Chain A
Amino acid sequence: MTSLSPALGVGGAILALVLAITVAAPWIAPYPTTEQHMLDRLQPPGARFLLGTDQYGRDLLSRTLFGARPALGLGLGAVALGLALGVPLGLTAGYVGGRFDDLIMRVVDAMLAFPSLLLALLIITALGASTGHALLAIGVANGPGVARIVRSATLALREAEFVLAARVRGERHLYVMFGEIFPNVMAPVIVEATLRVGFAILAGASLSFLGLGVQPPAADWGLMIREARQYVFLSPWPLLAPGTALALTIVAFNLFGDGLRDRLGAT
């Protein structure tokens, strides 16, 4: 048993905290997220409002705590969708090879030529702005990148002895792909997925910031920052509270993913 690397330890600790907050938000938040205190607008942190209030006098601590839910939900959901699209595609392309592989990879390359935010914007134009559509758009935008990683890992195992053995035994192709190859490409897929959650949370927050994701009056970090923008010179707290939470969460996923890569890559 080797000791935890700092990246894995620090990242993991913050992630555990964020996860705990996501679950426990209703019990630890001092106020309902949409409760307005019109006499206490844009207050700095104080005894009644620990992180201050926003332009409607809503408690920033409560809103920031609850904001972990859409962030984590969107990040995990979008990456799950990206895996659901990318893993079968990458496995098939790598396993079948030949012209099929060429065709799939050309399409993947073309999709990777779009900055992923742009691809998400195209999809949102067609569907309209909402939390669900943001998740769908970011998920689809993640598919090609996942497919590429899985495909190259699969390619390396195609001629491995245990794969050839399974084929000689007469196993079906689907079984060879998902039963034999997939468990052995899991490690890079897990690392990739962890790093992608951070980016997906960032992309989701960006969409909400642009007004194309989570809609008001929900408590979401990107949306809170969008609303804080107008009042930033009157009070910095509506920007700082969700901004710090968002940055910490993304740092945590990046640290954890990098730590995981070093750990799994070394063994």
Chain B
Amino acid sequence: MARYALRRLASIALILLLVSAIVFTAIHVLPGNAATLILGEYATPEALRTLERDMGLDRPLVVQYASWIGSVVTGDWGVSLAMKQPVATIVGYRLRNSAFLAVTALIVVVAVGIPLGTVAALRRGRPLDLAIVTATYVGISIPEFVTGLALLLVLAGPSVGLFPTSGYVELTSGVTAWARHLVLPATTLTIVLLAHVVRQTRSGVADVLAAPYIRTARLKGASPRRIVLRHALRNALLPTITVLALDLGYLMGGIVVVEEVFAYPGMGRLIIYAVQNRDVPLLQMCALVVASVYVLANLAADLAYAWLDPRIRYS
């Protein structure tokens, strides 16, 4: 297990390095550098050159990249051009808010998706199965911003007003108020993510139920409930872990749109802000952080999988 983990860690380090190179290239090779962005399009050439020298933009790209990576690793993430605050402070706060949202959505997806998928597998081909499969298929096909606005329309309208239409309040001003602001965005994300988990659980459980060892359990007289909970689910759920890790990728994209719909102050909205203001120092750190979270989540899923299924470690 330790050797497998080390091997995976080494390849992750390489991927993270490449990820940072892609972020850097996407932002720096294309026209319009940070000096032009700060001074605006009417800056004099002399002023531009001075600022470029001060910011080190006249050095070769490879040198700039190396010095950027150096400061990122040592914790110096620079200052946001538009917000005039340290990038690390802003990103830290927004990342925490997004984590509340993402973790809530993932917990609900697991808590709802696995039972739904299991029920669908047990009733395969019956109306209930068809209803579950169709509903989740529709859920994943409707864009997040349509689902979100529809929920807003139904549950947060002036006449209903069950939940606030947008915004966020700190945990310190009360758990109820905080949770009420999470409900609609988290539900939107859940609806989009549910399909993958339901589908994977359904096919996983259906496959396992056809296995000889389940027949053995049945023949020895185990109750149907015990067969499903003790024998089938344990093996059927392994691939679901991988699906959850992949879902985290969707979640990262979805969060951008959902946070914008509900004016929720997380990473997604920060990214849009950085794009709209062409705030390069902020944007490149946001991109790097989001991609790193995704890569690390996949690593965690692989390790969990290998821990649960020893066959993986030796392949």
Contact = CB atoms under 8 A, between A and B. Distances in A.
Whether chain B is bound by chain A comes out as yes
Contacts of B257: 117, 206, 209-210
A150 B158 CA distance: 52
Contact of B145 (A114, A127, A225, A251): A225
Interface string B254-286: 001100110000000001101110101001000
B34 to A, nearest CB: 12
Contacts of A121: 256, 271-272, 275
A139 to B, nearest CB: 14
Interface string B15-59: 100110111001100111000000000000000000000000000
A146 interface: no
B77 interface: no
Nearest to A244: B146
B19 A113 contact: yes
A29 interface: no
Contacts of A113: 15, 19, 291, 294-295
A233 interface: yes
Interface stretch (A72-80, A103-111, A151-159): A103-111
Contact of B19 (A110, A211, A243): A110
A247 interface: yes
A254 B199 CA distance: 14
- How big is chain A's contact interface, by range? 35 or more
Nearest to B15: A110
B291 A233 contact: no
Interface string A114-127: 11111101111111
A206 B143 contact: yes
Contacts of A263: none
A117 B146 CA distance: 17
B307 interface: no
B253 A115 contact: yes
Interface in A208-232: 209-212, 222, 225, 228-229, 232
B138 interface: yes
Nearest to A258: B137
Contacts of B140: 254
Nearest to B29: A126
B275 A110 contact: no
Nearest to A202: B143
Contact of B18 (A110, A115, A206, A211): A110
B304 interface: no
A243 B149 contact: yes
B14 interface: yes
Contacts, number: 127
Interface residues of B, number: 48
A122 to B, nearest CB: 4
A205 interface: yes
Interface string A225-267: 1001100110010010001001100110010000000000000
A109 B8 CA distance: 14
B153 A246 contact: no
A209 B149 CA distance: 12
Given A106-B14, A209-B257, A250-B141, A118 B158 contact: no
A247 B143 contact: yes
Contacts of A212: 272, 275-276
B290 interface: yes
A115 B146 contact: no
Nearest to A116: B253
Nearest to A226: B145
A110 B19 CA distance: 5
A114 B291 contact: yes
B142 interface: yes
Contacts of A106: 14-15, 18
A123 B278 CA distance: 11
B22 A118 contact: no
Contact of B283 (A111, A114, A125, A251): A125
9 contacts: A113-B291, A114-B290, A115-B252, A115-B294, A117-B257, A122-B26, A198-B141, A206-B145, A250-B141
Given A110-B22, A206-B256, 18 more contacts: A109-B18, A114-B287, A115-B290, A118-B287, A122-B23, A123-B26, A126-B30, A206-B143, A206-B145, A209-B143, A210-B272, A212-B275, A225-B145, A228-B149, A232-B149, A247-B146, A250-B143, A254-B140
- Which 8 A-B residue pairs are closest in the complex by CB-CB distance? A126-B30, A110-B18, A115-B253, A117-B253, A243-B146, A115-B252, A251-B141, A122-B26
